[in-house]
């Protein structure tokens, strides 16, 4: 096995175990670990079957195999940041709803307190 393959294997195994450990410690939710686990498994897959990496390169029209690797890495980063953007959009929406709810509850509470004072 070539040195770059060994290096990739070590990094991807480290990533895989690291991510599972983060999920175990509840620092990372299962849903967001999916893409990371899929990526580290893909790296391991291509290290074990480098011919398939060549095949993929020819399929997309790239003759320099290491470049295919970078292409995949770029694709992965794009997907991850896209997932983050979606997550943040959802979070913003929820945050807005909660903030508004708090304001409305505060007002109702003030009203109830005023009524209680009168009684």
Partner 1 sequence: MSDTLIIIPAHDEDGKVGELVGRIKSLGLDADVAVVDDGSKDGTARAARDAGATVLSLPFNIGYGGALQTGFRYALSKGYSYAVQLDADGQHEPAYIPKLIEPVKAGLADVAMGSRFLGAGEYTSTFMRGLGIKVFGRIASSIIGRKVTDPTTGFQAMDREVIRFYASDSYPVDFPDADVLIMLHRAGLKSVEVPVVMYPRAEGKSMHSGLKPLYYVFKMFLSILVTLLRKNTFRRGG
20 binds partner 1 (CB under 8 A): yes
Nearer to partner 1, 93 or 110 (CB): 93
Closest approach, Cβ 76 to partner 1, in A, equals 17
What phi, psi does 29 have (nearest 5°)?
-80, 150
Q: Rounded CA gap, 119 and 115, in Å?
A: 6
**Stretch in the footprint of partner 1 (CB under 8 A) among 23-31, 60-68, 78-86, 107-115:** 23-31
Distance between start and end Cα atoms, the chain? 84
How far apart (Å, rounded) are the C-alpha atoms in residues 116 and 119? 5
Q: What angle, 0 to 180 degrees and rounded to 10, lies between the N-to-C axes of helices 30-48 and 65-118?
A: 170
Q: Compare residues 32 and 50 and give the one whose CB is closer to partner 1.
A: 32
How many angstroms separate the Cα of 90 from the Cα of each of 20, 39, 52?
25, 24, 38
Dmax over Cα atoms in the chain, in whole Å?
84
Q: Is 118 in the site for partner 1 (CB under 8 A)?
A: no
In the list 13, 15, 16, 37, the residue contacting partner 1 (rule: CB under 8 A) is: 37
Closer to partner 1 by CB, 15 or 23: give it: 23
Binders in 82-101 for partner 1, by CB under 8 A? 93-94, 97-98, 100-101
Q: Which residues bind partner 1 (CB under 8 A)?
A: 20, 23-24, 26, 30-31, 33-34, 37, 93-94, 97-98, 100-101
């Amino acid at each position: 096995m070539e040195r770059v393959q060994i290096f990739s294997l070590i990094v991807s195994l480290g990533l895989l175990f690291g991510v599972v450990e983060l999920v175990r410690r509840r620092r990372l939710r299962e849903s967001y670990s999916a893409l990371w686990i899929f990526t580290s498994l893909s790296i391991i897959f291509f290290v074990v079957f480098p011919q398939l990496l060549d095949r993929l390169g020819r399929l997309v029209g790239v003759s320099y195999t290491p470049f295919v690797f970078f292409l995949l890495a770029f694709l992965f980063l794009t997907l991850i940041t896209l997932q983050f953007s979606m997550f943040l959009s959802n979070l913003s929406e929820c945050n807005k709803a909660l903030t508004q709810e708090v304001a409305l509850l505060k007002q109702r509470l003030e009203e109830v307190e005023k009524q209680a004072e009168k009684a």
